[in-house]
Amino acid sequence: MIAADTNVWARAYLNDDPVQAGKSRSALAASRSAGGVFVPLLVLAELSWVLRGRWDRKRVLSTIEGLLQTRGVAVESPALAWRVLEACRKGAVGFADHLIREVAFESGASEVITFDKAFGRVPGVRRLR
């Protein structure tokens, strides 16, 4: 199994550099067939930010869902990743913010603090004023 950096996934999805996009897609396809590709949660967070810079929210979330369902792809803490995806679909807060909350709570935190107004309205998150 290999792990691919965020920029490899981003090139494959965005096709903003045709040469790198082709290399990314080929390497990912070969790796999925020969042992798999591991995706750390941090890569999901970064990827959501990169894609959000180019695509609307719905397309970003659909892309992340597709990645979670791709054969030969193993995501770190898949149940947690699915919870984050579902929370994003229900509210206005971004994937990375929901990921921060879920990882924090799973690691024993009782609360998340933020200056972000929207994130501060999520249960278990307190906005600093």
What is the C-alpha separation between 1 and 73, in angstroms, rounded? 9
Please tell me the total count of domains within the chain.
1
CB 84 within 8 A of CB 102: yes
Q: Over the stretch 57-88, which tens digit does the pLDDT of each residue have?
A: 999 999 999 999 999 999 999 999 999 999 99
Give the amino acid at 114. Answer: T
Single-letter residue type at 86: E
54 Cβ contact list (under 8 Å, min separation 6): 14, 16
Question: Which CATH number do you get for residue 79?
Answer: 3.40.50
The answer, as to whether pTM is greater than 0.85, is yes
Residues of the domain holding 44: 2-127
Question: pLDDT tens for residues 38-50?
Answer: 999 999 999 999 9
pLDDT in tens, 7-27: 999 999 999 999 999 999 999
